[in-house]
Homo-oligomer: A and B are copies of this chain.
Amino acid sequence: MAIGSEIERLIQLLAKLPGLGPRSARRAALALLKKRDTLLEPLSAALADAAGAIKTCEVCGNLDTASPCAICTDARRDPHLLCVVEDVADLWALERAAIFRGRYHVLGGALSALDGVTPERLNVGGLLARVKQGVDEVILAMNATVEGQTTAHYLMDVLGDIKVTRLAHGVPVGGELDYLDEGTLSAAFKARRAL
C-alpha cells in the first residue's frame, strides 16, 4: 500500500466536492500535504470555524454567522421588496452584482418532477407567510431553466394578487449574437425596446 488510509480518506472526501473528480481530488490532497502550514492547517481551521459559526437564516434561508442573517437585519434594506432565489449561490451572485437593496427568500431548489421536488420540499410556506406581512413586490429570480421557469409560474399562481416580476431574458452583456441559442435570441427579439 503506497497511500495511507488517512490520505485515502482525505481524497475520498475531497472527491465529493463539486468540481473535483477522483484525479483532481488526489492532486488537491497532495497539494494540501505539501503545503501543510500555508494550506492544510488553515483549511482545517477554516472548516472547523465554519462548522461552528455558520447557520441557516430562519427568515430567508441565507447562510450566515447569525440567524436572522445580516441582510434580514439590515435596516437600510427595504423589507417591502422580496427577491426569491432558488439557492444561496444565486443570492450571493445577486449580492456581488450589488443591484438589489431589498431582502431575499431562498427556496432551496426548483420544482422538478424528474428529481421528485414538489412544492412541499421548497420553502414556499415561509415565502407566503412573509408576503402576508406586507410586501410591495416579489421579484422571481429563478434560473432560466425549465425547472426554474416552472417554479416561477407556480409561485406566480400561489402568490395571488401581489405585484410579481421576473428577471428579463435577453442577450447577455458582452455576448455575441452568433454564439447565442435560438431561445435567447427569440426572447431578446420579443422583448426589444425603443431607443
Contacts and interface: CB of A to CB of B under 8 A. Distances in A.
Interface residues of A, number: 52
A50 interface: yes
A6 B33 CA distance: 23
A31 to B, nearest CB: 5
Contacts of A20: 17, 19-20, 28
Given A18-B27, A92-B2, A95-B2, A7 B50 contact: yes
A133 interface: no
Nearest to A27: B18
B13 A39 contact: yes
Interface in A1-46: 1-4, 6-7, 9-10, 13-14, 16-20, 24, 26-33, 35-36, 39-44, 46
B10 A33 contact: no
A152 B26 CA distance: 25
B41 A51 contact: yes
Contact of A16 (B16, B39, B63, B89): B39
A53 B33 CA distance: 10
Given A24-B19, A50-B33, A7 B63 contact: yes
| A interface, over-half SS | helix
A43 B65 contact: no
Nearest to A88: B30
A49 interface: yes
A70 interface: yes
Interface of A: 1-4, 6-7, 9-10, 13-14, 16-20, 24, 26-33, 35-36, 39-44, 46-51, 53-54, 62-65, 70-71, 87-89, 91-92, 95
